[in-house]
Amino acid sequence: MYRSHVTKLNLGLLFAATLVGCSSETAPRVLTTEERLLVEFEAAYSESGPVPEGEVHFELRASPTEVPQFDDAPFAVWAYNEQVPGPVLRVRLGETVVVVLQNDLPQPTTIHWHGVRVPNAMDGVPGVTQPAVEPGESFTYRFTPKDAGTFWFHPHVRGSEQVERGLYGVLIVDDPEPLPWSRDELWVLDDWLIRKGPELVEEFNTRRDLSHDGRWGNVVTVNGNYRNELEARPGERLRLRLANTANGRIFAPDFGELDAKVIAVDGLYTSEPLPAEGFEISPGNRLDLDITIPKGSAGQAFEVVDRFTRQAFILSRIRVSGDEVETPTFEAPRNPNIPEWNEFEAVELDAEYVLNARAGGKYGLEWTINDVAWEQAVIDEEFGKLEAGQFHRLRFTNASARLHPMHLHGQFFKVLSRNGEAVSEPYFRDTVLLKRRETVDIGLVPLDWGRWMLHCHILEHAEAGMMTAVDVPKATSE
Ligand code: C2O
Ligand code: CU
């Protein structure tokens, strides 16, 4: 199984240092805090036994089309394979994903594999990891996911327009030995700003979107359905995967009487099942839940209500019918090796990213990171460097009154503190929400070299400049 040899190397050296200490009759060398944090991380990403091999081929054709939406009225979108959400790509851990993207859009595009630890060249960032795919052209993505879980994909060109128009889909990487869930279900959450027709409002990156928390739609869909319902039988045990593909909207699902436990955040398992109360799903985030439908609930419908805004609304219903089934019993999947990193404060900050807005730029308002607005053209710059296989502490400081779900490509991180107070989140993430004027410290051990984007996942904020990169240089031994 994949384990960065960079990390192995470092840990190997730590071991050697300790052993040498022993044999020469002096006390073993005391590890530094950085080294202890690294030891905690050593088994962080789940290891599994033998995994299957082989390639799984997919084709994704991006094109303008119409889909039945909003009470079946034809609705003009841009879509992968004429579906919104796009097709679910599903592989098993160990298998290689090969995706031929055919661009039949009137604009250049790319695909970014959100949350998947891919080789840098497969990361889908135009001008950084690949040239954009021009209309009429195609590009082949090829990578072997290193983690099982729920991921998604979307363009990284004019995201605020292309994702809003319907270009997104989910990638599921199954564990080598999937557990016997009664059902494995997916809810892709999105919202749309439409007017009568129905038709999509085609003014993108408006002043209003930019000065607020991006573009929030007036209709919410789950799996493209305006009134979504999931059918289940009493006693069934569901793995329910949620993915937020909206440009700006944040969801806070309330499962009411249902006992819902979070088992994975942003694809990776948590250290133990966690109560779902209080979890917020920002653009980019995924949440996997373990839900057992109570026996004796046939004929009932459970409502899942969104409570992020003051106007609560029904996100979806779970309608129970049919004969009772035996509830499968197994221990929910978990990752006991999530590092605690309690000692993080002893490690100096490697970088601070101050998030703010100012007048200027092509939209009249720019979103900046350390007073710089990202420009597609400026890519030869030097960015902050993070050393592979080493612990790093980064800080986001939100100097604005808006929301910023910050996403880092190519690595997982752990939230260490909010507003100076240590927090214990027993899981990794790839996107963390900063509320107004909030400060968040994260810890990470980068494993894969390359230039990785760091940006706000409110796509209008990213479009208006809120994007930067970090460089993980190739170790000289590689
Ligand atoms: Cu899902 Cu760079 O983003
Ligand atoms: Cu933002």
The 3-state secondary structure of 163-222 reads CCCCCCEEEEEECCCCCCCCEEEEEEEEEECEECCCEECCCCCCHHHHHCCCCCCCEEEE
Q: Is the CB of 114 under 6 A from ligand 1?
A: yes
| Smallest CA separation from ligand 1 atom 3, residue | 114
Which residues are near ligand 2, the ion (C-beta closer than 5 Å)? 404, 456, 458, 461
Expressed in angstroms and rounded, the spacing between residue 115 Cα and the centre of ligand 2 is: 18
Q: Is the CB of 409 under 6 A from ligand 1?
A: yes
What pLDDT, on the 0 to 100 scale, is given for residue 20? Answer: 41
What pLDDT, on the 0 to 100 scale, is given for residue 79? Answer: 98
Element (H, E) at 462: helix 459-463
Expressed in angstroms and rounded, the spacing between residue 454 Cα and the centre of ligand 2 is: 11
For 401, counting Cβ atoms within 10 Å of its Cβ (0-12 exposed, 13-18 middle, 19+ buried), the class is: exposed
Expressed in angstroms and rounded, the spacing between residue 432 Cα and the centre of ligand 1 is: 12
| Smallest CA separation from ligand 1 atom 1, residue | 114
Atom of ligand 1 nearest to the CA of 453: 2
User: Digits of tens for pLDDT over the chain (478 positions)?
Assistant: 333 333 443 444 444 444 444 444 566 788 999 999 999 998 898 666 667 789 999 999 999 999 998 878 899 999 999 999 999 999 999 999 999 999 999 999 999 999 999 999 999 999 999 999 999 999 999 999 999 999 999 999 999 999 999 999 999 999 998 899 999 999 999 999 999 989 999 999 999 999 999 999 999 999 999 899 999 999 999 999 999 999 999 999 999 999 999 999 999 999 999 999 999 999 999 999 999 999 999 999 999 999 999 999 999 999 999 999 999 999 999 999 999 999 999 999 999 999 999 999 999 999 999 999 998 655 667 788 999 999 999 999 999 999 999 999 999 999 999 999 999 999 999 999 999 999 999 999 999 999 999 999 999 999 999 999 999 998 765 4
Cα-based distances in Å from 393 to 157, 425, 437 = 29, 15, 19
Helices (H), 25-177: 33-41, 159-162
Q: Is the CB of 461 under 6 A from ligand 1?
A: no
Atom of ligand 1 nearest to the CA of 114: 1
The number of the ligand nearest the C-alpha atom of 123 reads 1
Expressed in angstroms and rounded, the spacing between residue 214 Cα and the centre of ligand 2 is: 8
Phi-psi region of 362 (alpha: psi -120 to 50; beta: other; left: phi over 0): alpha
Q: What does DSSP say about strands 149-154 and 169-174: parallel, antiparallel, or unpaired? A: antiparallel
